[in-house]
Structure 1
Amino acid sequence: MSGGAAQPRASVVMVVHDGAATTRTCLESLRATDEPFALVVVDNGSTDDTPRLFRDLASPWPLRYARNESNASVLAAYNQAWRLAATEFVCLLHNDTTMLEPAWLARLLAPLATPDVGLSGLYGVKRVRRDGRYAGRTIVHSLAEGPTVRAPWEEVAVVDGVCLCLRRATLEAVGGIDEGYGFFHGYDRDLSFAVRETGRRCVVVHAPFRHAGGGTRTREFAARPELEHRDLADRRAATERFARKFAHRLPSDVRPVTARVADWLGRRASPQGVRRWLVLALALALGGCAGIDSSAPAPGPGPAPGRRGEGHRGMREARAASSVARDTDPVATWETVQTRVRRGEAAAVLADTQRLAAAATTAGDAGSALIAHTAAAYAALRLSRLDTVLREAEAAVAAGDKARDWPFTGTFVARARRFAGLALAQIGRPGDAERELLAALAVAQVASLGQPHIGTVSSINGSLALLAARRGDHDAAVRYAEDAVRMTESGMRDGASARHPQRRMRLQRQLASAQVDLATIYFGAGRVDDAGRAAAAAFANARAVSAPDFQVKARALLAHVAARRHDPRTVALYEEAIAGARRTNQVWLLTSPHAGLAQFQATQGHTPPGARQRAAGDRADGVGPGAAAGGGDALLVLRGQAGALPDPSRAVVEPARGGLRVRRAQPRARLPRPARHAYRALQGPDRGARGGGAASARPVGRGAGGGGARR
Structure 2
Amino acid sequence: MISIVICSANPEDLSRVEQSIENTIGVPFEVLAFDNNVLKKGICEIYNMGTRNARYDIVCFMHEDIEMITANWGQKLVAIFDSNASLGLLGVAGGGYKSVVPSSWYNADLELNGAFYCCLMQGFKYSGKEEFLDYRNPRNEKLSKVASIDGCWMCTRKSIAEQYPFDEKLLTGFHAYDIDISLAIGTSYEVAVTYEILLRHFSEGAFSRDWEEAILKVHEKWSAILPVNTDGLNEAELLRNERKAFKAFHNRQLDQGSTYGRLARIIRKSGKSRIFAGGKWYKLYVDLWRVWKKRA
Same fold flag (TM > 0.5): yes
Which TM-score band applies after superposition, normalised by the shorter structure?
Answer: 0.5 to 0.7
Give deviations 1:552-602, integer Å, cap 9, x for gaps: xxxxxxxxxxxxxxxxxxxxxxxxxxxxxxxxxxxxxxxxxxxxxxxxxxx
- Contact between 2:42 and 2:171, CA under 8 Å: does it hold in 1? no
Structure 1 residue 108 displacement after superposition: 3.0
Q: 1:22 deviation in Å?
A: 2.4
Q: Which residue number in structure 1 is paired with residue 58 of structure 2?
A: 89
CA gap of 1:72–1:214, structure 2 versus 1, over 3 A, is farther
Which of residues 16, 19, 23 in structure 1 aligns to 2:14? 23
1:211 aligns with 2:181: no
Asked if 1:161 is matched to 2:151, the reply is: yes
Deviations for 1:45-83, whole angstroms, at most 9, x for unmatched residues? 2xxxxxxxxxxxxxxxxxxxxxxx342322212211221
Number of the residue aligned with 1:235: 211
Identify the residue that residue 291 of structure 1 maps to in structure 2. none
Q: Secondary structure at the match of 1:172?
A: helix
Q: Kindly state the Cα deviation for residue 253 of structure 1 after the two structures are TM-superposed.
A: 1.5
Residue 273 of structure 2: aligned partner: none
> Equivalent residue for 1:251?
227
- Decide whether the 8 Å contact of 2:144 with 2:193 is kept in 1: yes
2:186 match: secondary structure:
helix
1:115 counterpart SS class? coil
Whether the 8 Å contact between 1:108 and 1:121 is mirrored in structure 2 is no
Following superposition of structure 1 onto structure 2, how do residues 249-648 of structure 1 map, counting pairs within 5 Å?
Answer: 249-255=225-231, 257=232, 260-261=233-234
Deviation of 1:214 (Å): 6.2
The 3-state SS of whatever aligns with 1:249 is coil
Which residue number corresponds to residue 39 of structure 1?
A: 31
Give 1:130 deviation, angstroms.
0.4
Contact 1:157/1:252 (8 A) holds in 2: yes
The answer to whether 1:12 aligns with 2:4 is yes
In structure 2, relative to structure 1, the CA distance for the partners of 1:185 and 1:146 (3 Å cut) is closer
- Deviations 1:95-132 (Å, cap 9, x if unpaired)? 11111111323333333222211111111111111023
- Matched-pair contact (CA < 8 Å) for 1:17–1:71: no
- 2:106 matches 1:115: no
- Separation (CA, whole Å) in 1 of partners of 2:41 and 2:87: 32
Question: Alignment partner of 2:215: what SS?
Answer: helix
User: Given the two structures, how large is their TM-score scaled by the length of structure 2?
Assistant: 0.67
Q: CA deviation at 1:13?
A: 1.1
Q: For residues 146 and 165 of structure 1, what CA distance do their matches in structure 2 show?
A: 20
Q: Which residue of 2 aligns with 1:139?
A: 116
| Distance across 2 between alignment mates of 1:44 and 1:75 | 12
Q: Taking structure 1 as reference, are residues 132 and 183 closer, same or farther at Cα in structure 2, changes over 3 Å only?
A: same
Aligned to 2:130: none
The residue type paired with residue 108 of structure 1 is L
Counterpart-to-counterpart distance in 2, 1:237 and 1:162: 20
Structure 2 equivalent of residue 647 of structure 1: none
Per the alignment, do residues 72 and 17 of structure 1 end up closer, same or farther by CA in structure 2, a change over 3 Å counting?
Answer: same
| Deviation for aligned residue 1:234 | 2.2
Aligned residues of 1:111 and 1:120 also touching (Cα < 8 A): no
User: Does the 8 A contact of 2:18 with 2:31 survive in 1?
Assistant: no
Kindly indicate whether the alpha-carbon contact (under 8 Å) linking 1:125 and 1:158 is maintained by their aligned counterparts in 2.
yes
**1:674-689 correspondence to structure 2 within 5 Å:** none
CA separation of 1:38 and 1:79: change in aligned 2, threshold 3 A: same
CA distance in 2, matches of 1:73, 1:146: 29
| Candidates 160, 179, 188, aligned match of 2:178 | 188
Compute the TM-score of the two structures, normalised by the length of structure 1: 0.29
Aligned counterparts of 1:146 and 1:78: Cα–Cα separation in 2: 27
Q: Which structure would you say has the larger RCO, counting Cα contacts within 8 Å and 6 or more residues apart?
A: 2
Q: 1:72 aligns with which of 27, 41, 60?
A: 41
Counterpart code for 1:196: G
Structure 1: gaps spanning 5 or more residues? 1-8, 46-68, 219-230, 269-305, 308-327, 330-711
Contact between 1:122 and 1:160, CA under 8 Å: does it hold in 2? yes
Equivalent position amino acid for 1:161 in 2: G
Distance 2:76 2:223 in 1: 32
Q: Could you tell me how far apart the structure 2 residues matched to 1:72 and 1:171 are? A: 19
Correspondent of 2:189 among 195, 200, 214: 200
Q: Do the aligned partners of 1:126 and 1:139 also contact (CA within 8 Å) in 2?
A: yes
Identity %, equivalent residues: 23
Letter of the 2:89 counterpart: L
Task: Indicate the SS of the match to 1:40.
Answer: strand
Following the alignment from structure 2 to structure 1, what is the Cα–Cα distance between the partners of residues 222 and 14?
34
**Which is helix-richer, 1 or 2?**
1
Note the C-alpha offset of 1:202: 0.3
One-letter code of the match for 1:253?
N
In structure 2, do the counterparts of structure 1 residues 232 and 107 end up closer, same or farther at CA, with 3 Å as the change threshold? Answer: same
CA distance in 2, matches of 1:117, 1:187: 19
In the alignment, the residues of structure 1 paired with residue 149 and residue 77 of structure 2 have an alpha-carbon distance, to the nearest angstrom, of 12
Question: Structure 2: which amino acid aligns with 1:135?
Answer: N
Amino acid across the alignment from 1:127? Y
Structure 2 stretches lacking a partner, 5+ long: 122-132, 246-250, 253-296
Cα distance, 1:70–1:37 mapped onto 2, change above 3 Å? closer
1:191: how far off?
0.7
> How many angstroms apart in 2 are the aligned matches of 1:111 and 1:170?
15
Secondary structure at the residue paired with 1:147? strand
